[in-house]
Amino acid sequence: MEVYFQVITDAEGLQKACDELRNSEYLGFDTETTELDPYRGDLRLIQLSDGKKTQVIDLKFFAERGDLRTMPDLAPLRELLSDKKQIKIAHNAKFDSKWVRHQLGAELNGVFDTFLASQLISAGDQDRRHSLADVAQFFTGTELDKTLQVSDWSLSELSHSQIEYAARDAAILLPLREQMAERLKSDDLEKAAELEFECVMPIAEMELNGFYLEKSRWREQLEKVKVAQAKAADELQQMLSAGVAQASLFGRSEINLDSQQQVTDALLNLGVPVPATTRGWQLQPLAVEYPQVAKLLEYRGVAKSLTSFGENILEFIEPKTGRIHADFRQIGAPTGRFSCSNPNLQQIPHDPQYRRCFIAPEGRKLIIADYSQIELRILAEFSDDENFIKAFVSGQDFHASAASQMFNVKPEDVSPEQRSFAKRLNFGIVYGIGASRFALMTGIGQTEAENTMRQYFGTFRGLDAYLRESGRKVVTERIARTASNRMMRLRFDENDRQQVGGARRNGINMPIQGTSADILKRALRLLHDSLRGTSAELVNIVHDEIIVECDAAEAELTADKLEKAMCSAGKEYIKKVPVKVDVTITGEWAKL
C-alpha cells in the first residue's frame, strides 16, 4: 500500500495542514509514542489522513519550544481533534485519546474505533484477532508490516521508513472504516457501536485520573489477613488431622492445605460427602453441617486475598501521581461488560477492610453510586411479567415482595427464610439455574427445589414464558442481543445436550447482563459531559457501580449529577420499571 505524506514541524505548516484536513468528513488518526504509558513517555507523532494525503505532525519540534498543553501554535490541532462533527477513525482510540488528553490537553471527539468495531462484529468469537494488522487483512485484504511498531520513536531524527510506517497506519483506517461501517449496518450493530465509541473518552479520562490507594492502610490490612490465614490454617490442620491416613510420631498429622487431593481425601476419611471437585459453590451447602468445610472455605478466602490482593498491588501506584491507573477494556466479555487489569480493580474484595484503603485525598470526597438490582429490573422489562413488574413498582423490598406473591402471604409476614429463597431464585434466574443447582445453593433436597421453582414460575408466568421462548429462540437462531442490539453468536454442537444447555443459559443471560453494560456505558458518557468544567473526576467503575472523586465543596452537586446521569441512562432502556440508584458521599470506598 503506497501512501503520500508530508511531515509537519512548524506552526505555519500545521495551520495549513489543519485547514486542508478540516474539509474532510472522516480522518484516519493515529499516534506514535516513546512509551505505552502517557505518564512515562512522550507523544512523538500525530498522523492525520484524509485518504489522499497524510499529515505527520512531529511534536518533538514543538516540544522544544515549550509546554504542548498550552502552546498557541497547537491550537488548530486541538480544535481539529475536539471537533464532534468530524469523525476521527482510530484503532484502539482509548490509547491515542489518553496521550492527546494528557500531553496536548485536548479531548478527542467524534470517534470511530476500528478495534471496538471489530470486537462487536466478531460477536463473541474468541478465535478472532483484533490487532490493526489482523483487522486490515480481514476487512480490506491489505497486509500491514508492523515490524517498525516497536522501533525507537525517541530518536532525534526519525527515519524515512518510520515516518512512512506511521503514515500508512493512519491512511489504512479510511478504507477500513468503509468496510466496517457496512458490516455494522448489515449486522444491525450501529447503535451498539455508537454507544461504545462515545464511551472511549470517559474511560480514557478515568484511566488518566487514577484511583488513590492509601499505602499504610493497605499494608495494615495485609498484616491482618496474614494473621487470619495463619490462624485459619492452624485450625483447619487440627480439624483435618484425624482424617489424615498416615500417623505422625511428632504430634498431629499435617497435609498440604493447597492440595485439593489431600484435602479431599482427609474430608472423605472424616465422613464428609465432598463432591469430586471442591469448588466453593459446591461446598457451600456442606459448610452448614460440617465445620471442617466451613473452615476450609474461610482458609481459601484469606489465602486467595493474599495471593490476588497483596503487596503486589502497591507496585501499580504511579510515582508521579501517587495513584493506580488500571487498564479497563470496554468489551472485556461478549456481553459487553468491562474487564480490568494491572491491577483488576473490579475484583477488589467487597470487605470494607479492603475498600477503605481506597480514599479521597484531603479536601476531596468520593461519590459512590450503584444501580439497585438493575439486572432484575431489566429482566422485568424484557419479560413484561405483570407480577414481576408489580414487585418493583410497589417500592417495597423487592425480594420480600416477590416472596409475598410466591408464598401467598402478606409482605409483612414474609419470613427471613422465604425472602432468602426468593432472593436466591431471583438472582439465579438471571443466570439460568436449574433445580439441581438451586438445591446445591440452598442445601435443600432436589424434590423441594423442584417444587420451589415450580411455585416461583407459577407466580411469575410471564417470566416463565419469556425465559422459555428466549431459550428456544437462542438455540434456533444461535444469536442473542442486548437492548442496544449488541450481538453474541452462540456456537455449539446441536447433538450435544450439555452444549445446547450451556448455550441456552448463556443466551438467556447475555441480553440481561449485556443491557446492564449498555446502561452503564451510556451513563458514563452522560456523566462525562455533565462533569466537564467541575472538580469532579471519574476514578473507578465496577459493573453497576460508578465512583467519582471531587472537591468536598462540590460533593452534593456531584452526587446529584451522578444520580441523574445514571437514572437517565437507565430510563433510555427500561420504561416499565422504575430505575433506582443508591448514592453515598464518603471519604473512602466503603458505603456508610
* Cell 449486522, located at residue: 187
User: DSSP states of 390-456 as a string?
Assistant: HHHHT-S-HHHHHHHHHHT--GGG--HHHHHHHHHHHHHHHTT--HHHHHHHHT--HHHHHHHHHHH
Least confident range of 49-63, 393-407, 530-544 = 393-407
Per residue in 455-495, pLDDT (tens digit) is: 888 888 999 999 989 989 999 999 999 999 999 999 998 89
Joined together, the cell numbers standing for residue 243 give: 482424617
545-551 and 364-371 beta bridge pairing: antiparallel
At 322 the three-state DSSP class reads: coil
Per residue in 270-322, pLDDT (tens digit) is: 888 887 666 666 677 788 788 888 899 989 888 888 888 888 999 999 999 99
Per residue in 560-575, pLDDT (tens digit) is: 999 999 999 999 999 9
Is residue 250 pLDDT above 80, yes or no? no
Residues with Cβ within 8 Å of 399's Cβ and at least 6 positions away in sequence, in order, are 419, 422, 423, 426
**pLDDT recorded at residue 545:** 97
C-alpha 184: how far from chain center: 22
Task: Give, in degrees to the nearest 5, the angle at Cα 59 between 58 and 63.
Answer: 145
Instruction: Give the pLDDT mean for 335-344.
Output: 95
Q: How far apart are CA 90 and CA 85, in angstroms?
A: 15
Helix %, strand %, coil % for the chain, to 5? 55, 15, 30
**pLDDT recorded at residue 117:** 98
Instruction: Give the pLDDT mean for 514-527.
Output: 98
**pLDDT recorded at residue 278:** 63
Mean pLDDT of the chain: 91
Confidence of residue 264 (pLDDT cuts 50, 70, 90): confident
**pLDDT recorded at residue 424:** 83
Phi, psi of 176 (to 5 degrees): -65, -45
- Cβ–Cβ under 8 Å, residues 462 and 380: no
**pLDDT recorded at residue 38:** 96
Which structural domains are found in the chain, ordered by start? 5-209 (3.30.420.10), 215-308 (1.20.1060), 375-516 (1.10.150.20)
Joined together, the cell numbers standing for residue 332 give: 472485556
**pLDDT recorded at residue 31:** 97
With CA atoms as reference, report the closest residue to 208 among 325, 94, 367, 33.
Answer: 325
Is residue 249 pLDDT above 60, yes or no? no
Confidence of residue 251 (pLDDT cuts 50, 70, 90): low
Per residue in 343-402, pLDDT (tens digit) is: 999 999 888 889 999 999 999 999 999 999 999 999 999 999 998 898 888 887 888 888
Report H helices in 47-113.
60-63, 75-82, 93-99
With CA atoms as reference, report the closest residue to 337 among 170, 517, 460.
Answer: 517
**pLDDT recorded at residue 554:** 98
**pLDDT recorded at residue 145:** 85
> Within a 10 A sphere around the Cβ of 350, how many other Cβ atoms?
8
